[in-house]
Amino acid sequence: MSDATGKAIGEAPAKKRRRFAAGPWLILSLVIIAVDQFTKLQVTEALALYQRKPVFPFVDLVLLHNTGAAFSFLAGASGWQNWLFMSVAVLVSAGVLWWLVRLPARGKTVLALGLALLLGGAIGNLVDRVIYGYVVDFILVYYGEWSYPAFNVADSAITCGVALVLFDGLVLERRAARPPD
C-alpha cells in the first residue's frame, strides 16, 4: 500500500539532501594557500636569508626560516618539533574542514569566513614544513628598536580566521541566543 505521495506506508521518510555550502569557502582557502606560496616564492627568489628590504618606514621584507611555531616557539629544538607541528596542522586542518563542510548554507558567514582563512593559513604553512622543514616568514613590522616577530600571509590568515571564529562565538552567537526585547 502507498499513501497519497506514492510512498509505501511505513517507509522511512527520505533524508533531506543538504546543499553543499562549503564550496566558495574552500575556494577561498585555496586562494589563501596560493597567495601564501606565491609570496613566499617571490621573497625567497628576491632576498638572501636575513636580508632586509624596506617597504614602508615601519615595514620591511626579510627572509627568515622559522623551524618553530608562532613567535619561533621551539625553534631551537633538534628537529622533532617539525613533526609535532606538521601533525598538529594536519589534525587542525581536518577538524576545520569537517566543521566547515557541516555548516548550514545560510546564516554563518562570519564563522565560515573565519574557518576558511584558518584552513588556508594552516595548510599554507604545512606545505612549507613538508617541503622545506621550516616555514618561510618575510613580513617584519617594527618601530625604532622594537619589532614584531616576522610573519607571512598564512600567519595573517590564521590570525584573522581565529579572530572571526572568536567574534562569531563570543558576540554573534550570544546576540542570536538573546531573547528579543
Which pLDDT score, from 0 to 100, does residue 172 have?
86
Match 502507498 to its residue by C-alpha cell. Answer: 2
Which pLDDT score, from 0 to 100, does residue 175 have?
83
The DSSP-derived string for 13-32 is PPPPPPP---HHHHHHHHHH
Q: Which of 128, 137, 168, 181 is catalytic?
A: 137
Cβ atoms 110, 168 nearer than 8 A: yes
pLDDT average per 10 residues of sequence, the chain (181 residues): 60 56 92 98 98 97 85 59 84 94 85 96 96 95 94 96 95 80 67
Q: Which of 36, 155, 168, 181 is catalytic?
A: 155
Give catalytic status of residue 36 as yes or no: no
Give catalytic status of residue 137 as yes or no: yes
Which pLDDT score, from 0 to 100, does residue 178 have?
77
Query: φ and ψ at 52, to 5 degrees?
Result: -110, 145
Nearest to 69 by CA among 121, 115, 32, 113: 121
Nearest to 161 by CA among 101, 102, 92: 92
Grid cell, residue 148, equals: 614584531
Counting every residue written for the chain, the total comes to 181
Q: What is the pLDDT of residues 49-97, one digit of tens each?
A: 999 999 999 999 999 998 876 655 555 555 667 788 888 999 999 999 9
Which pLDDT score, from 0 to 100, does residue 81 have?
72
